[in-house]
Structure 1
């Protein structure tokens, strides 16, 4: 009887696993190709992807080490993401920057976690797109 009463007072805790699709804007790549040519655009995409994949895992340590360096890293991340059409990644990185500058610790923690999730999905989305195009 006592176990039944406790079970009623303690509802089951649900575990949620946030899933968010990476939004990719292929028009940005088309514009880049028209502006600088397909070969140079392909090199720019590869370079931007490389920089993004290197900076994402280091953001936590960068933040602890230097606030200014963290802000610069986020600004570069936004620029690279915008350049190659990673719309969601750019928006989330801006949200991280906004919460950091505002000193919103809860919002900052939440947006940093979201940046980790979106970052990986975004990188894979572009790699998958490149695989499809040959």
Structure 2
């Protein structure tokens, strides 16, 4: 898992402890919602909205230093663009696994800083 502690450190430096914690908590909640939504869209075979949702994950993940999650979300969008359904499925489920671990890691790190 590639969690960038420097990115979180930048947030804390820019926003202060309370502001950074607020941003991180909201980002974690939003990522969790969007990951669940990605899976639902995939099951509905809604590739247009799945692509939009995966793209939104990239920006949110990058904001709080989840580089692996952002990278995999980019791979999901590329597989959708290539109309490669087996790759979309494989990469999406990798995104869900990594996303869950990354959210847990950020949450654990958040607990350490409080």
Name which one, 1 or 2, has greater alpha-carbon Rg.
1
Contact 2:21 2:110 in 1 (8 A): no
Q: State the distance in 2 between where 1:93 and 1:129 align.
A: 22
Q: State the distance in 1 between where 2:87 and 2:45 align.
A: 20
1:51-75 Cα deviation digits (max 9, x unpaired): 0011111213224364332222111
Greater helix fraction, Structure 1 or Structure 2: 2
How many residue pairs align between the two structures?
A: 113
Residue 77 in structure 1 maps to residue 57 in structure 2: yes
Q: Aligned Cα RMSD in Å? A: 1.5
**TM-score, with length taken from structure 2:** 0.89
**TM-score, with length taken from structure 1:** 0.77
Partner in structure 2 of residue 19 of structure 1: none
Task: List, as ranges, runs of 4+ consecutive aligned residues in structure 1 with deviation greater than 4 Å.
Answer: none
| TM-fit CA distance, 1:29 | 1.0
What runs of 5+ residues in structure 2 fail to find an aligned partner?
none
